[in-house]
A and B are shown apart, each in its own frame.
Chain A
Amino acid sequence: MNFIPRLRERLYVAKKLHVTTTVNGEPAEFLCEARHSLMDALRDTLGLTGTKEGCNNGNCGACTVLLNGVPVDSCLVLAVEAEGAEITTVEGIANLGHLHPLQQCFLEGAALQCGICTPGFLVAAKALLDRCARPSEQEIRFQLSGNLCRCTGYDKIVRAVQEAANRLQEVKR
């Protein structure tokens, strides 16, 4: 719930821009200041707090979302740039309450401990598996090197992505 400034307090209110966009397949719109990031808009305005802030300068990947299908650090995208775009966040990965194989494999493989980096990894890993059916361990590590994890040491994350790739291939057969 946002704080709506009362006019008589004459606060400094920067001029807001109106943005129309699509988030997780559904139309969305919001007001934002030009300086707000997409991460700010998703979390604070649209209430989609699944995307996390770790560093706010593009060095940890916790804020990863898909922007027109490519993974980006939402802290380095202006909220206004969402205009006309399609955005996928972690909230959009499960299908109507059914976990995506990646989510399932992360849970079964204990690929999360504190879980703060998990949304970013899931979004990036989904983008990877959407492009590459069976990435090698090195490819997984390379493509996910923009996502920092401090708890797991990455071992079980990489294995979960490999297992998810296997399951997705089996579903296709």
Chain B
Amino acid sequence: MKDFEYAAVSTIDEAVSLLSARGPMATILAGGTDILVQLREGHRQAELVVDVKKIPELLEIDFQPDRGLRLGAAVPCYRIYEDAAVAAAYPGLVDAAQIIGGWQIQSRASVGGNLCNSSPAADSIPPLIAYDAACVIAGPERTRRVPVARFCTAPGKNVLRRGEFLVGLEFPPPQPRSGCRYQRFIPRNEMDIAVVGVASWVCLRPRENVIEAARIALAAVAPTPVLATEASDWLAGKPANAESFTQAGELAKRAARPISDIRGPAEYRTHLVGVLTKRTLSDAVQRALAP
């Protein structure tokens, strides 16, 4: 691959000004586990690599039970699951962080980077959507917020404009009697890209085994990760039982528009959406009921 310039910045402003000046020929470097592969294989070109791992905001994990979680965009996965408070409050996120690549990848790869890579099969994005997280985006004009559910626009593409980059993710505070589970299907037990990934978040009514609200997000079955709105909305008011989970799975399938590729045939992926939705809903409810 062609050589590039490397700049390690320590403030958001420095990064923004480099990105604004160089536009599409500049790329952010956090963990590097996607970017370096793409640069090496020629799927991406860059004349300037901007290393953001020294910017304090990008490395912060700030969790307050009443305010929620602010997660810096460059925080590597392993710091998420090694943080006991965050792991307890957002287990669905930890499900994903623990299975992105192997340990060596998790030492470097970040949820922010996984989101910005904007692969339809990204493991961390369904839990981000299920938790209704929001992106904090810094840019030349101002900092703006975009719900994760609207961040990806096409395979490998997102709403970031010239000069902008993701600095963090904001998660709402965990609600009582809520739970979230992310599961993906892969042919081996580790190291694979998701054939299908599903994150289910549920909130139960205070004293009933009835679902108050649910959010089901799917990966690898559409050009972007998607919120299965129909299935999610249908669950409101339904009993938290196997029948509901199965039916929700059938509805979730309708949100899937998968392709056939080396990771799986389309019909199989649609089938798996039903299976994983059912399973993750069941696990999410278990987590919601856990003391």
Contacts and interface: CB of A to CB of B under 8 A. Distances in A.
A17 B3 CA distance: 12
Contacts of B190: 142, 145-146
Contacts of A70: 76, 78, 107
B51 interface: yes
A71 B107 contact: yes
Interface residues of A, number: 33
A152 interface: no
Interface string B183-200: 000000111000000000
Interface in A96-151: 124, 127, 142-147
Given A71-B103, A71-B107, A77-B32, A56 B40 contact: yes
Interface string A71-103: 111011110110100000000000000000000
Interface of A: 14-15, 17, 33-35, 37, 56-59, 61, 64, 67, 70-73, 75-78, 80-81, 83, 124, 127, 142-147
9 contacts: A34-B3, A34-B4, A35-B3, A71-B103, A73-B108, A76-B37, A78-B32, A78-B36, A81-B32
A14 B107 contact: no
A58 B101 contact: yes
A63 to B, nearest CB: 9
B268 interface: no
Kindly state the interface size class of chain B when it binds its partner. 20 to 34
A143 B76 CA distance: 16
Contact of B1 (A15, A35, A143): A35
A120 B98 CA distance: 20
Interface in B216-254: none
Contacts of A80: 6, 8, 51
B2 interface: yes
Contacts of A146: 101-105, 190-191
Given A34-B3, A76-B36, A78-B6, A145 B191 contact: yes
Interface string B21-41: 000000001011100110111
A75 B36 CA distance: 9
A129 to B, nearest CB: 13
Contacts of B102: 61, 145-147
B138 interface: no
Contacts of B189: 145
B32 A76 contact: yes
Nearest to A128: B103
Nearest to B108: A72
A124 B104 contact: yes
A34 B6 contact: yes
B5 interface: yes
B49 interface: yes
A33 B32 contact: no
A56 to B, nearest CB: 7
B34 to A, nearest CB: 9
B29 A59 contact: no
A34 B189 CA distance: 35
B191 A57 contact: no
Given A58-B37, A78-B32, A73 B105 contact: yes
B37 A57 contact: yes
Contacts of A71: 103-104, 107
Given A34-B49, A58-B104, A78-B6, 7 more contacts: A14-B3, A17-B6, A58-B101, A71-B107, A76-B31, A76-B32, A76-B105
